[in-house]
Chains A and B, each alone.
Chain A
């Protein structure tokens, strides 16, 4: 029983970082209707900027993290404004290719600028300290990631429900033409959505970096975050978080009871099962356009 509880707790712990990535993907999917494969690198570059602010410019960890989040916001806005928006009448495949291209450019830039050496980010909380509940443990950093994921999910939920900009974002996603006719600057709304998405992803990156940093560090969380977002239905914020915890818990139970060899890929089997049972994902609400 202790083992089972530990596996579920560890699954929730790892699911939190997947949840942050999934939230970022869902935000962009809601705005631009594209699975965003540059999500990981939109977080990666700000994380390395934070590292540079600490070690090259002698900034404190808090200042560096704040700087990284601001940079992420600007980076997301820039990518939408300078690249995605420029595509002429893009279809979904074209947009996916654009995001994959951006992923390669940003990854190449980080590898070139910062090198391939492995490193770790300084952090106020030790990544090795933990809380023990009986024989079940959760590391302090995992707990912080869990809290961050839940706070960001609730904040985004409130933002979309009650803020003018949030409602404008929802309107843009549901019917861009109608939103534009209502006076919403849909291009600007999309740009800000990309910025927010990059910022949310960067929170995940900054919480992963105290354990390990390298140019490929965001690849696994991106894939698992994508799996979580698909399970949740791609358009639902709570769905993305729920999907992330499903992925994390299933991975750990599978690794513990069935096979450690296939633990890393079981998330994709979960996608297939969910999509067979409910093709639109568990939490999706589709807005059908009348012709």
Chain B
């Protein structure tokens, strides 16, 4: 009798123990899903910190609406100050002490590269790195799903437009001395070669350099009639201002990174009017080529809904409603959709399977598609391959110049 009692008690304890332990997947409990993210909240790249704050507000909104299959998203984001050493320390700490189910977005190519191998070796899903680097798909990784259109694609579409639609014959590139800038330069040269043209000038910019006079002078010497800028918004403002003072005014073009027109108009004191940039979404180009859209345009229904329900309710009072904040939502929408599709019985492998089935998923950005993992096919993890071109108006609006353009993947040269 005594033995039976002990057996029943032990059995009950084991059952209760397993029940409270909840779920066997790392970062998933009966009531929570833990998602990690790094982002520069301080340091020179701090303006991009709004990406993580956008994601955070988006997750809070999801939780306020019941979560996903009865679980709340618990968002752990930390400030890495755009320093890869801090990124890897923070990622390892959160992963090994708290346990993340997956990682979302993450600003910076160098920061992402610092943790890519760690995440992949441990088979931890990472969705939507917040930079358009080819490294995310070269080679493709089973657990890494790119979202951001590659900078190579921005360069292709901008250069093609400058040559064929605007008749520009002398195209120059101002590029940051890192992956972002160098891939922009490569994409431009790729298209120029197709047209039998030479680059008028390639002007490198060091990230720490604030004096853009020699750079503007080099462009003026080359007499470039279109200049592509693969640099930070701050450097764009300085290059445009210096060139204007020199009475040198080519057609300026830039990337998705410098596509926040209200911000750019403000920091260039209006000089950004007429600048053409690539865009990965937010506006709706289809059916509106030639039209002008603003970030508060009620016709952009999804954006307007997010403004009222996410930004107004969950963003900090001094947060700016802008491109970067919204990008933080757009980059993680596929992850949230993948978790939703994976159902209540959530595992990392199920998430990967569901993401692989994703075809033409449309959130705030362009259409996003993945395919079954193939180590030889970068397109199975590339995500969004379409962008459109927009031109800045005097009041910071976007004049839509093209419909969505599908970009070509340029493999890394040997």
Contacts and interface: CB of A to CB of B under 8 A. Distances in A.
Interface of A: 3, 6-7, 10, 13-14, 108, 111, 115-120, 127-130, 132, 137, 139, 211-212, 214-217, 219-221, 251-252, 255-256, 260-261, 263-265
B294 interface: no
B116 interface: no
A260 B218 contact: yes
B320 interface: yes
Given A13-B213, A120-B266, A137-B247, A216 B44 contact: yes
Interface in B205-259: 205-206, 208-211, 213-215, 217-218, 221, 233-234, 237-238, 241-242, 244-247
Nearest to A108: B42
Interface residues of B, number: 40
A222 B107 CA distance: 28
Q: A-B pairs with the 3 shortest C-beta distances?
A: A116-B46, A255-B214, A139-B245
A221 B42 CA distance: 20
Nearest to A14: B211
B263 A10 contact: no
B271 A117 contact: no
B186 to A, nearest CB: 17
A255 B221 CA distance: 14
A128 B320 contact: no
Nearest to A128: B244
Nearest to B319: A115
Contact of A261 (B177, B238, B267): B177
15 contacts: A3-B217, A111-B42, A115-B318, A117-B320, A120-B266, A128-B241, A128-B245, A137-B247, A212-B238, A215-B46, A251-B214, A252-B214, A263-B209, A263-B214, A264-B208
A133 B49 CA distance: 44
Given A212-B210, A261-B206, A263-B209, 13 more contacts: A10-B217, A116-B46, A116-B49, A118-B237, A120-B237, A127-B269, A128-B271, A132-B247, A211-B241, A214-B47, A216-B44, A220-B208, A256-B218
B213 A211 contact: no
Contacts of A129: 245
B266 A119 contact: yes
Nearest to A122: B269
A261 B177 CA distance: 8
Contacts of B244: 128
Interface of B: 41-44, 46-47, 49, 177, 203-206, 208-211, 213-215, 217-218, 221, 233-234, 237-238, 241-242, 244-247, 263, 266-269, 271, 318, 320
A118 B203 CA distance: 23
Contacts of B209: 220, 263-264
A261 B210 contact: no
Contacts of A10: 213-214, 217
A24 B47 CA distance: 30
B204 A261 contact: yes
Contact of B241 (A14, A108, A117, A127): A127
A217 B215 CA distance: 19
B274 to A, nearest CB: 14
A7 B206 contact: no
Contact of B215 (A7, A221, A260): A260
Contact of A260 (B41, B203, B234): B203
Q: Which of B203, B245, B266 has the most CB of A within 10 A?
A: B245
A4 B134 CA distance: 40
A260 B269 CA distance: 27
A75 B266 CA distance: 30
A270 to B, nearest CB: 15
Nearest to A131: B245
Nearest to B264: A118
B206 A116 contact: no
A118 B204 CA distance: 22
A220 B210 CA distance: 7
A252 B247 contact: no
Contact of B47 (A116, A139, A219, A261): A116
B263 to A, nearest CB: 7
A137 B216 CA distance: 12
A212 B213 contact: no
A263 B209 CA distance: 8
Contacts of A220: 208-211
